[in-house]
Every structure is written in C-alpha cells, then in structure tokens.
Structure 1
C-alpha cells in the first residue's frame, strides 16, 4: 500500500467500515485480521496485538475486495474509498 501508516489512517479506515455497516471488533488471540458474515451482520475481527501496519493493510485489503454501497458515505469517505480501490489496480 502506498499511504501513511499512522493512527489517523487507521481511524479513517475504521470510520469508513462503520459507515458501510460493518461491526469492528478488536480481540486478542492467535489469528489474522479478517471479516465474516454472521446472520446478515458484517463483522470485522482485528487482532488487537497486530502492529499498526498490519491492521491498516488488513482493513484496506478488506475494503478493496468488498462490494460496498458508497451511498452511505460522505464525500470525503467516498474519495478515500476511491483512492483505496485505485491503489489495488496499481499494484
């Protein structure tokens, strides 16, 4: 990924996921960050012991690979999501 690995970037990704209807949970354990669909509820489980870069990469990859309804987003979030989707094409 080609963006800054800062707590602010993580906050932006978390806000974007929440706006898209995902439930975000930080849990401890020996697993990789991922998402699942439980009875029509979109849940993302993040390993709270992962480093900042791993958390950001996992959430960004999830957003890139998920079909999203951007009508739920404000203009800044739409622009950020569009930027994320374009990064995937450049890799």
Structure 2
C-alpha cells in the first residue's frame, strides 16, 4: 500500500482513532516524540506544528499502542486499519 500524505488520508486515519473512542488534540508543547497518549482519558495529543506527513506518520506509529475496537469501526475504516497494520509490520 502506498500512503498518500494528504489531508484526506489524515482525516481517514483520525476517523479510525475517533471511532474507537479517542479524542485527538493538536497542541503545542515540549514533546519528546511529537505526541502524548493519555490512556485513561483516551486522548491523543499531537504536536500541532507537524506538517501533514508528520501527523500521518505519527498516527500510524501510534495505532498499535492504542486500544482500537475493530468491531466498532466502519467497513471503510476496518479496511484502512488492516492495510495500515500490514504496512506497519513490513517496516
């Protein structure tokens, strides 16, 4: 799968995370790795100064660490999630 670093792709990845009950916030601050996960509150905070490509790569890297409820995802989100997990395992 070739990932296009567009706002549309970012929106689709954000949708997967949001469908699993997480809130995504873009904030500024001192981020060691560009993101922070507040597991108990299901909040993902990303560095708002990242370009679209950086946001997409960070969210893809985060997906395995999140509790994604596959059954709660729409069919489109399930398909993309499977593809992203396959790409992530190929790294």
Bigger mean CA offset, 49-58 vs 28-37: 28-37
Are 1:46 and 2:46 an aligned pair?
Answer: yes
1:29 Cα offset (Å): 2.1
Q: TM-score, normalised by structure 1?
A: 0.87
Give the total of aligned pairs. Answer: 89
- Correspondences of 1:12-31 after superposition (within 5 Å): 12-31=12-31
Question: Which of structures 1 and 2 has the larger relative contact order (alpha carbons within 8 angstroms, sep 6+)?
Answer: 2
Structure 2, unpaired ranges of 5+: none
Runs of 4+ with >6 A deviation: none
The aligned counterpart of 1:37 is 39
**Is the contact between residue 26 and residue 47 of structure 1 (CA under 8 Å) also seen in structure 2?**
yes
Structure number with the higher strand fraction is 1
Structure 1, unpaired ranges of 5+: none
